[in-house]
Structure 1
Amino acid sequence: MNRRTLLKALGFPAVAATGIFGWMAAARATNRYYQGPVSDHFDGVRFFSPNQPQDKGFAELLRWQLGGGRKDWPESFPSPFQDKPPAEVAGLRAVLIGHASFLIQVAGLNILTDPVFSERASPVSFSGPKRVNAPGIRFEDLPPIHAVLITHNHYDHLDIETLGRLWQTHKPRVIAPLGNDAVINAAHPDISVETRDWGGSVDIGRGVTVHVEPAYHWSARGINDRRMALWCAFVLTTPEGTIYHIGDTGFGDGKIFHAVRERFGAIRLAHLPIGAYEPRWFMEPQHMNPEDAVKVFNIIEPQQALGHHWGTFRLTNEGVDEPPVELATALQAAEIAPERFKPLRPGEAWSASSLSL
């Protein structure tokens, strides 16, 4: 197998088409998504996480892909839950749709995080990670959606097709970190996207404010746009308490989690990713494992944590059901009651109070 055939097999047709030298030349191009001043996390072309490891090289990617250790996944891993949410919630309710897609219902607002309803998390419909369970809420059963929060532009978090459907049906406010408006508007120029830098915020009404906070991750839609759009976590300050949603992050030095605790105080509800973490030598800077997620839990001390980012799309080497098993072990070692940190399945709901239609 030659290099070009291997690249295609690994899912990098752009590199295979242009060749490695064309890719390297294009990588030096100016930022296609965002033009703004240099900052402590933007060098004028690319965003970065200060004092954290950045990109793995091509040789490391090949080492992972060709190194074995990949556990088999079933063709289907259906969830026992299916939710049909109420139109409005007076208190606080969260439902995992799948992977990092949540429906958060709070203070009368309905908010989606990283909504993916497509069959694949991929730039093409015929290849790439395919979901092994249906969305935990049918698209047709969604309540009126007021806001959509996009943490970053990887295909398992930014689903252009789903955003188009949501815009046509609900016309929600769409909030994302810097540069992601260009990604979305390239496909849907009519969608209004409100972008913010880390530390920025958007008031979405009814006492709810969305805050854009750092995460230790990266971004890319293709091979030549690495780290040209920003990534983030979200903190929602609401009348029902503070909600911390992380789409993807590594643990790193832990400073960003201490900063959230210091800035926002007590956390009512935290959505913490617990999957896509093996092999650790490759994934550690960008994806927490369950042990890391428990360390974050101990830093931010939420009243309730919900585990996500597992069991829907096969992205890495661990088995489909390993994350909740390892989470249970980590919680026991940390002497944390398991009910305080629940690994959700698609369609599984958590509620803080009674509901009103």
Structure 2
Amino acid sequence: MKRRNFLKGSALLAALGLGGGAGAMAISSSRNRYYAGPSSDHFDGVRFFNPGGTPLRGLSDVLKWQWGGNRARWPEQVTVAATRPAAQVEDLTITMVGHATLLIQTAGLNILTDPVWSDRASPLAFAGPKRVAAPGIAFADLPRIDAILLSHNHYDHLDLTTLASLHAAHAPQIITPLGNDAIIRSAVPEARITVADWGQAVPFGPLTVHFEPCHHWSARGMADRSMALWAAFLIAGPAGKILHIGDTGFDQGRPYRALSAKHGAIRAAILPIGAYEPRWFMQGQHQNPAEAVEGFVLSGAAHAIGHHWGTFQLTNEARDAPLAALETALAAKAIPADRFRPLAPGDMWEIPRV
């Protein structure tokens, strides 16, 4: 039993990149295995960082969290009413697959964010966070996938098995921040990949994908902490602008404050609302629902989708806790609930026009 619990805990840490983070302190590396480029205000020549941001937690804090208890029990499985999306959409429809995986359909293009169809968000096939909600779209029911937006390399966002399957079936263009291409090519050498840095933009058909800062970090293993970049995406197209953040800490609102002035009106913001407890440990990397609502207000977005909840148990809060907390936060700011919806797997939303 002790060995089983140890394996489960180790796989959870690895899925979050926390095991790699703790190991990175013990196994120093002076060379970036994924990316070589000039230093910048968020890259020191070896590792990326959040300028002026909250420092990453150390090994003692990781152990304190893991052994601290207060972890809610999730159901082993929940019922999912899967849907079959249209082949293409000209305006804007967004469908929840699960966790950070959503299908964005706009301008005749089909875009997946951080696609994960695997049963576990883990480097291990037999341990680690297990899916409690089946994908809201069966893999075989996907329309033609034109592009993938991949925000960062934690296992609940970058799933090499799924990426290999998507390449075999659709050969989509993968758009991702610096360094993640090396990880993807290790498993899918023929993948079509475009990489960019914060502040840069990538054209894709009638769309333009802007790379924006968010407050997070990255790791896949024992000594690669923050060697690949993380980012938020602002997608500009004929149906309006869409903000997608895979993971972020609120960071005093800095991921949101400049968006409206830089990009104008945002039609839909896809914002993380889960994996946030205990707050003392998670605050720097995962915003909570109240902070997501504050970010929604700061961004000036007309509508928002809450994601990153209810599929994989990564942290301490109960599965439905983000829903109740979001409802309370919206009511406190007198924001109608139909403007900020926490989509469940299989939910589809035709985003209202602004």
Q: TM-score range by the shorter chain?
A: over 0.9
Equivalent residue for 1:230? 229
Classify 1:319/1:9 alpha carbon distance in 2 versus 1 (closer, same or farther; 3 Å): closer
Looking at structure 1, the residues matched to 76 and 26 of structure 2 have their Cα atoms a distance apart, in angstroms, of: 39
Moved more, 55-64 or 296-305: 296-305
Q: Give the secondary structure class of the aligned counterpart of 1:243.
A: strand
Identity within the alignment, %: 53
- Cα deviation for residue 188 of structure 1 reads 1.4
- Cα deviation for residue 5 of structure 1 reads 10
Looking at structure 1, the residues matched to 188 and 344 of structure 2 have their Cα atoms a distance apart, in angstroms, of: 31
Equivalent residue for 1:300? 299
Looking at structure 2, the residues matched to 72 and 27 of structure 1 have their Cα atoms a distance apart, in angstroms, of: 36
Looking at structure 1, the residues matched to 26 and 59 of structure 2 have their Cα atoms a distance apart, in angstroms, of: 15
Matches within 5 A, 1:91-240: 91-205=91-205, 207-240=206-239
Looking at structure 1, the residues matched to 352 and 332 of structure 2 have their Cα atoms a distance apart, in angstroms, of: 30
Equivalent residue for 2:57? 56
Contact 1:48 1:54 in 2 (8 A): no
Classify 1:21/1:212 alpha carbon distance in 2 versus 1 (closer, same or farther; 3 Å): closer
Equivalent residue for 2:350? 351
- Cα deviation for residue 202 of structure 1 reads 1.1
Q: 1:350 is matched by which residue type in structure 2?
A: W
Q: Note the alpha carbon deviations across 1:9-68, whole angstroms, 9 max, x for none.
A: 631699xxxxx9986453233110001000000001100010001311000000000011
Classify 1:76/1:28 alpha carbon distance in 2 versus 1 (closer, same or farther; 3 Å): same
Moved more, 252-261 or 85-94: 252-261
Stretches of 4+ moved more than 2 A in 1?
Answer: 4-10, 20-29
Looking at structure 2, the residues matched to 54 and 227 of structure 1 have their Cα atoms a distance apart, in angstroms, of: 12
Q: Note the alpha carbon deviations across 1:114-161, whole angstroms, 9 max, x for none.
A: 000000000111110000011000000000000001000000000100
Matches within 5 A, 1:20-59: 24=25, 26-59=27-60
Contact 1:91 1:353 in 2 (8 A): no
Equivalent residue for 2:332? 333
Q: Give the secondary structure class of the aligned counterpart of 1:253.
A: helix
- Cα deviation for residue 186 of structure 1 reads 1.1
Looking at structure 2, the residues matched to 180 and 114 of structure 1 have their Cα atoms a distance apart, in angstroms, of: 12
Q: 1:134 is matched by which residue type in structure 2?
A: A
Q: Note the alpha carbon deviations across 1:236-262, whole angstroms, 9 max, x for none.
A: 001000000011000012122111121
Classify 1:234/1:21 alpha carbon distance in 2 versus 1 (closer, same or farther; 3 Å): closer
Matches within 5 A, 1:251-270: 251-270=250-269
Q: Note the alpha carbon deviations across 1:269-305, whole angstroms, 9 max, x for none.
A: 0101100000000000000100000100110121110
TM-score, structure 2 normalization: 0.93
Looking at structure 1, the residues matched to 288 and 348 of structure 2 have their Cα atoms a distance apart, in angstroms, of: 23
Contact 2:9 2:128 in 1 (8 A): no
Q: 2:175 is matched by which residue type in structure 1?
A: I
Moved more, 97-106 or 298-307: 298-307
Q: Are residues 1:316 and 2:315 paired?
A: yes
Contact 1:129 1:315 in 2 (8 A): yes
Q: Give 5+ residue unaligned stretches, structure 2.
A: 15-20
Q: Give the secondary structure class of the aligned counterpart of 2:204.
A: strand
Classify 1:335/1:133 alpha carbon distance in 2 versus 1 (closer, same or farther; 3 Å): same
Looking at structure 2, the residues matched to 70 and 272 of structure 1 have their Cα atoms a distance apart, in angstroms, of: 24
Looking at structure 1, the residues matched to 22 and 154 of structure 2 have their Cα atoms a distance apart, in angstroms, of: 24
Moved more, 344-353 or 61-70: 344-353
Looking at structure 2, the residues matched to 353 and 295 of structure 1 have their Cα atoms a distance apart, in angstroms, of: 21
Equivalent residue for 1:17? none
- What is the number of residues matched between the two proteins? 346
Q: Note the alpha carbon deviations across 1:84-130, whole angstroms, 9 max, x for none.
A: 00111111100010000010000000000000000000011111000
Looking at structure 1, the residues matched to 268 and 132 of structure 2 have their Cα atoms a distance apart, in angstroms, of: 27
- Cα deviation for residue 211 of structure 1 reads 0.9
Contact 1:120 1:128 in 2 (8 A): yes
Looking at structure 2, the residues matched to 21 and 102 of structure 1 have their Cα atoms a distance apart, in angstroms, of: 30
Classify 1:22/1:39 alpha carbon distance in 2 versus 1 (closer, same or farther; 3 Å): closer
Looking at structure 2, the residues matched to 291 and 168 of structure 1 have their Cα atoms a distance apart, in angstroms, of: 40
Contact 2:47 2:225 in 1 (8 A): yes
Looking at structure 2, the residues matched to 164 and 140 of structure 1 have their Cα atoms a distance apart, in angstroms, of: 14
Q: Give the secondary structure class of the aligned counterpart of 1:193.
A: strand
Contact 2:214 2:231 in 1 (8 A): yes
Equivalent residue for 1:279? 278
Contact 1:94 1:350 in 2 (8 A): yes
Q: Give the secondary structure class of the aligned counterpart of 1:254.
A: helix
Contact 1:98 1:345 in 2 (8 A): yes
Q: Give the secondary structure class of the aligned counterpart of 1:38.
A: coil
Q: Give the secondary structure class of the aligned counterpart of 1:210.
A: strand
